[in-house]
Amino acid sequence: MSKKGRVFSGARPTGRQHLGNYLGAIRNYVALQDEYDCVYCIVDVHALTTVETTQELRQNTAEMALDWLAAGIRPEETIVFVQSHVPEVMELHTYLSMLTALGKLTDLPTFKEKVRQQPENVNYGLLGYPVLMTADIVLYKADIVPVGIDQAPHLEFAREIVRSFNYRYNCNVLVEPQAKHTEIPKVIGIDGKEKMSKSLNNHIELASTPEETTARVREMVTDPSRMRRTDPGNPDVCNVYTMHKVFSSQEDVEMVDVECRRAGIGCVDCKKLLAKNMNADLEPFRARRVEISSKPGYVKEVLDEGANRARVIARQTMKEVREAIQLP
């Protein structure tokens, strides 16, 4: 079947992936492969704008790639690679930076937020982040970029840079990427409050054992107004119920919805049921992860091969870019 176009997406190397990564991005990555040529990049250079030490970068990259593959990314079709393995992106970033007004970068809410978060490390890379992101996308002539509603302005920014390039150099070399709006669910952590994240330690790792997963589910915060087993609960404000909707059968979801409201089920049993369903859902992932891990060097091979294929596209784009600019 011929595919509809090329998708590009990048993610920072954050090591072992958790349910938030899975439900927010990886599941969508896997599904997109059926309809599009996909290019998925682990953006290690972007990570340098915020990381304090690079000791874990390699390990985190390998673990993340392993999780992607175990989740169903198919490297025979999809290009999976590491950003820094295709250095052409740095060159394109430089050319695109000449077309980007400084004021636009300093005005971006994401930049302002980073300045607030790390006032002691407001580096140049942090400011140029959206330009490097544009280079990532257009180097591979991606037609489509999956974005959540909150990232849409970044893609619009990328499209503006592309238009500036094509206008300035009177060409059609760079492709204006289209946003594929995806409903990216905000996955709440086991604290029941914040977005699931490793740094807040409110996450459940995909690669956890069934026992570890069950223990984490047991820790989940439930409806705070349900103090006793005999109190009726409200599943609409309970993250355990939200997770049931993802991992449990329709029948179980309906049962929890009804029984929670009339105190027919206690939170302990409700969580046991969730853990059971979650573990059943994650079982194929875990089996594939074990299988892939048993082949030493496989993940590295996939990333090397991905970089080779990515570089073929990147070299061609850069040839056209240099010609368009009329570099001597």
Exactly one of 114, 216, 226, 289 binds ligand SF4 (CB under 6 A); that residue is 226
In the region spanning residues 204 to 223, those forming contacts with ligand SF4, defined by CB under 6 A, are: 222-223
Candidates 112, 186, 193, 195; catalytic one: 195
Local structure of 8: helix, strand or coil = strand
The DSSP code for 150 is: G
Is 270 one of the binding residues for ligand SF4 (CB under 6 A)? Answer: yes
Is 190 one of the binding residues for ligand SF4 (CB under 6 A)? Answer: no
Is 241 one of the binding residues for ligand SF4 (CB under 6 A)? Answer: yes
Q: What is the dihedral of CA 7, 83, 45, 8, to 10 degrees?
A: 0
Size of the site for ligand SF4 (CB under 6 A): 14
Exactly one of 25, 126, 265, 278 binds ligand SF4 (CB under 6 A); that residue is 265
63's tokens: 């673990």
Burial 278-317 (b: 16+ CB within 10 A, else e): bbeebeebbebbeebeeeeebbeebbeebbebbbebbeeb
Stretch of residues binding ligand SF4 (CB under 6 A), selected from 44-52, 164-172, 191-199, 263-271 = 263-271
Exactly one of 207, 238, 275, 324 binds ligand SF4 (CB under 6 A); that residue is 238
The DSSP code for 18 is: B
Is 65 one of the binding residues for ligand SF4 (CB under 6 A)? Answer: no
Chain-centre distance of CA 182, in angstroms? 12
Exactly one of 15, 146, 189, 235 binds ligand SF4 (CB under 6 A); that residue is 235
What is the closest distance, in whole angstroms, from the C-beta atom of residue 27 to ligand SF4 in the complex?
A: 23
DSSP secondary structure string for all residues of 173-234: -S--PEEEE------B-TTSSSBP-TTTT---BTTS-HHHHHHHHHT----TT--STTS---
Exactly one of 41, 105, 256, 324 binds ligand SF4 (CB under 6 A); that residue is 256
- Nearest alpha-carbon partner for 73 in 20, 19, 36, 44: 36
- Nearest to ligand SF4 of 4, 193 (CB atom): 193
What is the closest distance, in whole angstroms, from the C-beta atom of residue 275 to ligand SF4 in the complex?
A: 11
- Nearest alpha-carbon partner for 137 in 106, 93, 171, 98: 93
Candidates 3, 104, 180, 198; catalytic one: 198
Which helix (H) or strand (E) segment holds residue 6: the answer is strand 6-11
Q: Please indicate whether residue 198 is annotated as part of the active site.
A: yes
- Nearest to ligand SF4 of 121, 234 (CB atom): 234
Q: Please indicate whether residue 114 is annotated as part of the active site.
A: yes
17's tokens: 């992936």
Return residues touching ligand SF4 (CB under 6 A).
222-223, 226, 233, 235, 238, 240-241, 256, 260, 265, 267, 270-271
Query: What is the set of active-site residues?
Result: 114, 195, 198
